A = this chain, B = another copy of it.
Amino acid sequence: MNVKNFKLTRKSKECAARAGILKTARGEIETPVFMPVGTQGTVKSVSNRELEEAGARIILSNSYHLYLRPGTEIIEQAGGINRFIGWKRPMLTDSGGFQIFSLQTLRRIRDEGVEFQSHIDGSKHFFTPEKSVEVQKKIGADIIMCFDECAPYPCTKEYAARSVDLSVKWAQRCRQAMEKPGPSYGKGQLLFGIVQGSVYLDLRKESLERTVDIGFPGYAIGGLSVGEPKDEMISVLDAVSPLMPEDKPRYLMGVGMPEDLWDAVERGMDMFDCVLPTRNGRNGQAFASCGKVNIKNAEYVRDFGPLDPECDCPVCRGYSRAYINHLFRSQELLALRLLSLHNIYFLIRLLEIIRKSIETDTFISSKKAFLSKYAKDET
């Protein structure tokens, strides 16, 4: 972690937006970047080749899910997550914290760690910061995340304060656990710290300060996009982002709506992930330049144009709205694929457009142009 992993290549003259290059063991990633989510080691319904062709530079997986199934032992035998799933580019795993703290099943939080029950078979497990890092080492992604408590929204300030304190202590332990050797395929893993603190700005600042004191090659803002009003998210970004180390990548976890991506990049964030492109895709909702398209709607039954006339993805080049509408009505699997792929392509392309606008100092006008069209006939 002593090597310089992140290089800013351009700072916007118009706002806090920045373009950079993040170096990982499996390749370089141009930022700002959207990272498709492959929870169980697969971006739902989409193939590796399609992801590569869509321009995905890095994808996510989920330590909680992979730990439970197929289990770290099998991933180790395969030679790490990349070899197991056949993905050659960089990977990021989250720590499992978010999933564990979202579980409806019994869980108990202690200073030591958290006890939880598997959503698959009800079996009991105990995760500590050390355990999470050990699991993530065995999985072997290029970027791994500190095990933290993601506080629910809303929560009291007292709860949030205790949660920040716990997460900072856990971050320290994760940092120490990194010193332990892991499988060779995980060499060069970067461990990112996570800023928590709910919507309480002073807690957010405290969380950032104490996390930066520990020292990580990258910092994430967690606990947003968990149900809070949009302006609360903006407030947190406005308060925290200017204080984040400039020479380190900044990752806004779980955010992926097009309008939010513009707002977050404008405030200096570099990395994003979200399940929406695939989840919404499976529900029949497509992103398009002209706004969202609910492809199951009757208006598309005879619409022989592409999902998004301005998109050059394989779905828009090969299939019509009317056909995809037919596929959904006929409950055909291809429907889920096509919309998921288009949506991923749309967000990856959007971040490319945003990056370009930073490099040409046209961020503000580009954002305005995008949003005026995108919001126009939103359904």
Contact = CB atoms under 8 A, between A and B. Distances in A.
Interface of A: 40-42, 44-49, 65, 69-70, 74, 77-78, 84-86, 301-302, 304, 314, 318-320, 322-323, 325-327, 329-330, 332-334, 336-338
Contact of A44 (B49, B301, B314, B332): B332
Contacts of A84: 320, 322-323, 326
A45 B330 contact: no
16 contacts: A40-B332, A41-B326, A41-B327, A42-B327, A42-B332, A44-B332, A44-B334, A48-B318, A69-B329, A69-B330, A70-B322, A74-B322, A77-B304, A78-B304, A78-B322, A86-B320
A119 to B, nearest CB: 12
A56 to B, nearest CB: 15
Contacts of A77: 302, 304
B86 A326 contact: no
Contacts of A338: 47
Contacts of A325: 70
B45 A326 contact: no
A301 B337 CA distance: 26
A21 to B, nearest CB: 28
A304 B320 CA distance: 38
The 9 closest A-B pairs by CB, nearest first: A45-B333, A40-B330, A70-B326, A42-B334, A86-B318, A42-B332, A86-B319, A78-B304, A85-B323
Contacts of A48: 318
A251 to B, nearest CB: 25
A84 to B, nearest CB: 6
Given A42-B334, A336-B333, A337-B337, A323 B47 contact: no
Nearest to A65: B330
A318 B334 CA distance: 20
Contacts of A301: 70, 74
A332 B318 CA distance: 24
Given A40-B326, A65-B330, A84-B326, 13 more contacts: A40-B330, A40-B332, A42-B332, A44-B334, A45-B333, A46-B334, A69-B326, A69-B329, A74-B322, A78-B322, A84-B322, A86-B320, A337-B337
Nearest to A329: B69
Nearest to A314: B49
Given A41-B326, A304-B77, A323-B85, A318 B69 contact: no
A326 B318 CA distance: 31
Contacts of A40: 326-327, 330, 332
A325 B44 CA distance: 15
A342 to B, nearest CB: 12
A329 B70 contact: yes
A176 B314 CA distance: 42
Nearest to A66: B326
A70 B302 CA distance: 10
A198 to B, nearest CB: 32
